[in-house]
Amino acid sequence: GPQRHRAETAKQRHSKGGECPAARRRRLLRAWRAVTAFAFLVLPTRAGKNPALFATTVLSLVGGQSLPKGVTKVLHPLVTCGAITSIAAIALGRLEGMDREKALQDYFRNQGLGNLGPGDLFFGLLNASCCALGVRMFNSRRTLEANLPTLVGATAFSSMLSLFGTTWVAGRAGLPEKVSLMLSQRSVMSSLGIGGAQLLGASPALTVASILVTGVYGASVGKDLLAKFGAPPSAPLVRGLAMGATAHSIGTAALMEGEPEATAISSVALCLAGIIHTFVCAVPSVQNVLKGLASQA
């Protein structure tokens, strides 16, 4: 079957001298250590702090991914990367006389090609990343077509459960109305969640934080949790649907290493869930219902 074929292919590759993921990651880590060291050496030049911050971001992400599995379940690589990069940005900003807020804002300048910050360079890679994800989706098109009703039904159920269920639970727990409404957007991508938060009068910044926490938590424990509940890697439809519809793009990224079919399904699931969620959330009567659920004592 397909699983046996994949196992044989991996075995043949290894016998031919192919690297295992751990060895490849160690080699990548050594390379980025050297790049980062060089980037800090050029700090006094006109290049300034941007190369150092760019290299630090990559190194901290690769380093976070290289930590033992037990550690990454608690401390996701994105958390490690964000913390180290923020510390580096603040420290290097101090050298230029910036306060903490200004130093962090300088990471994303959003001022055009003539004045790019390190974060702007990473955002420039998003188009290529989306195209690469699209290729995976195209390669799995037969699976997606065959399971389209399941995809639509499951994502619709998941998005409505997240939207109304989260708001209801948060309201019943006595959380402030604004917090409850903010949490209602936790299972969609940031770009969609910000729009939903604005429609409901919630804080966009806190909404993004809740989305990131949800995605990181799903990426950290989602795969193992699914396996324990009877959805091992040999069940890509279940795993892809669950990760994409609940942990959005961060959960999808967690599937990329070793689960290409589940990754494609997860990509479609996060898009469908986001579309359905946003469409329903834009209806004025639904907004009133959500506000009522959020304000219940």
Distance CA(114)–CA(190), nearest Å, equals 27
Instruction: Give residue 18's pLDDT band: very low, low, confident or very high (50, 70, 90).
Output: low
The pLDDT score that the predictor gives to residue 5 is: 46
Per-residue pLDDT tens over the stretch 25-78 = 889 999 999 999 999 888 777 768 888 999 999 999 999 988 888 888 778 888
Q: What is the pLDDT of residue 13?
A: 46
Question: Predicted confidence band at 113 (pLDDT cuts at 50, 70, 90)?
Answer: confident
Within 8 A by CB and 6+ apart from 148, the residues are none
Please provide the size of the chain in residues.
297
Asked if 103 contacts 90 with a C-beta cutoff of 8 angstroms, the reply is: yes
Given this model, what pLDDT does residue 1 score? 52
User: What is the secondary structure of 179-230 as a DSSP string?
Assistant: HHHHHTTTTS-HHHHHHHHHHHT--HHHHHHHHHHHHHHHHHHHHHHHHHTT
Q: Looking at residues 219-239, what average pLDDT do you find?
A: 90
What pTM, to 2 d.p., does this model score? Answer: 0.74
Q: What is the pLDDT of residue 117?
A: 85
- Cα–Cα distance for residue pair 245/247, rounded to 1 Å: 6
pLDDT digits (tens, 9 = 90+) for 116-147: 888 888 888 877 887 888 888 888 888 888 99
Write the pLDDT tens digit of every residue in 155-165: 999 999 999 99
Q: What is the per-residue pLDDT across 173-228, written as a single tens digit (0 to 9) for each?
A: 999 999 999 999 998 988 888 889 999 998 888 898 899 889 988 888 888 899 99
pLDDT at 226: 92
